[in-house]
Amino acid sequence: MPPCAYVKVVEPTILLVIPCDILWELVNASPVIARNLLYKLSRRMRSSNATLSDTLQVKDHFEQAANHDALTGLTNRRGLEVIFSSLNSPGRQAYLPLSIALIDIDHFKHFNDNYGHQAGDAVLATLGQHFKQHVRTHDVVARYGGEEFLIVLPSTALQPAIRVVDRLRQMMAHQRVQSEGQELPSVTFSAGLSEWSEEETLEQVIEAADTALYRAKKEGRNRVCW
């Protein structure tokens, strides 16, 4: 008869081999032996399952940490690569129209120099939460690097996306930032937007958004360009 199960050894183990006929003789002769065998097997299986569960939880924790920015809690550059990979899949038409906004805090270095890096961190965290609270649940908000953020807006053409980001800009311009009980001045940001067409790669869309962002800063900052 072929085996009905296999056991994989995950640590150094002493193996006791009992021929099948002798095992059944022992079981039939003494219910206590059968009960003890089942008890030992069940304990070992519970222990292995608990170890496996703990390992998976640790793995999930590290994956979460690796894909998210520690300061803002937003998706980071590595997490964006995972998202972009799914967006570049053959079924990407389901996300279209799709717009991308690249956002940069205005005069952030000057703010850091005047109020300190801790205040600068408070600005980044506040801005990140501001974006998360005022976009849809399926939109992706990421810290792209330094004082730059990136927002992915699926099922959103360029003109609606412009209105969304400009509303975020106007709201943020009137929001005060708190740092260690101190109220800091409000900050503004510049944004560049681009819509993803089927003929373009995702990298080309981001490059177009970056060019629009450069234009927004060149034209005086605190504005949205596309």
Q: Which residues are catalytic?
A: 147
> ∠92-68-60 over CA atoms, to 5°?
90
Report the alpha-carbon distance of residue 191 to residue 210 in Å, rounded. Answer: 9
Q: Which long-range contacts (CB under 8 A, 24 or more apart) does 65-70 make?
A: 69/128, 69/142, 69/143
Three-state DSSP state, 152: strand
- Closest among 191, 196, 183, 199 to 167, alpha carbons compared: 191
- Is there a contact between 119 and 111 (Cβ–Cβ < 8 Å)? yes
Report the alpha-carbon distance of residue 109 to residue 8 in Å, rounded. Answer: 57
For the chain, the C-alpha Rg in angstroms (whole number) is: 28
Instruction: Write the Ramachandran bin of 219: left for phi over 0, alpha for psi from -120 to 50, otherwise beta.
Output: alpha
What is the bridge-based pairing of β-strands 98-105 and 189-196? antiparallel
